Amino acid sequence: LLAMLLVMVSAVAAQQAQKQGVNPFPMMTGKDKPINISSDKLEASQKEGTIVFEGHVVAQQEDLTMTGRKLVVYAVKEKPKGPKGAEQNPGMIEHLDRIELSGDVRVTQGDKLATCEKAVYYRQEQKIILSGNPQVSQGKDVLNGRLITLYLLEERSVVEGGGQNPVKATLYPEGKKAN
């Protein structure tokens, strides 16, 4: 049951990405490369449509590494109708809804680093929201705010500030080095 659930969620994520031309793990470019996930605990609930990895979570694909305390995959459960409206495979997961990584989140790839307390990928909207002191950096350039939203299809991002957490950017012109 657990293996079947994992395979279904992975297959659905890949199908949705292929249909929309977008990788659901946008920083993971090796579509045919395995994603290795390790944690202290794994719990899958077909009834709830979730797979939960807890404790020392590390997800890795090629040069991309994501770490946090908890990774939850949420699926939208649809109950396909058969002849005369009869339900077929009522527990089958049909669509990926969202993926949440929380607790000291770090995403690294080469000289790129994103840190926050929570990162949520929304499949339908094709966006990722970083919250809880989010900060992204590449090389010496650093950007932070209260909330960072990445719109994947539009290839744009919005950084929001507010109150005691304004938007801050430290950018170095090309060819210049920080002291």
The pLDDT tens digits of the residues spanning 73-91 come to 898 866 555 555 555 444 4
The pLDDT of 20-42, averaged and rounded, is 63
Looking at the predicted structure, is the pLDDT value of residue 100 above 90? yes
87 φ/ψ angles, rounded to the nearest 5 degrees: -75, 140
Contact criterion met (CB below 8 Å) for 137 and 143 = yes
Q: Is the whole model's pTM more than 0.85, yes or no? A: no
Mean pLDDT of the chain: 76
Please provide the DSSP assignment of the chain as one string: -HHHHHHHHHHHHHHHHHHHT--SSTT---TTS--EEE-SEEEEETTTTEEEEEEEEEEEETTEEEEEEEEEEEEEE---B-GGG-B-STT-EEEEEEEEEEEEEEEEETTEEEEEEEEEEETTTTEEEEESS-EEEETTEEEE-SEEEEETTTTEEEEE-BTTB--EEE---TT----
- 71 confidence band (pLDDT: 50, 70, 90): very high
The pLDDT of 10-29, averaged and rounded, is 43
Between CA 179 and CA 166 the distance in angstroms is 24
Contact criterion met (CB below 8 Å) for 130 and 148 = yes
Determine the pLDDT at residue 23: 40
User: What domains can be seen in the chain, in order of their start residue?
Assistant: 2-170 (2.60.450.10)
Looking at the predicted structure, is the pLDDT value of residue 126 above 80? yes
- 22 confidence band (pLDDT: 50, 70, 90): very low
For 39, other C-beta atoms within 10 Å of its C-beta total 18
The pLDDT of 131-148, averaged and rounded, is 93
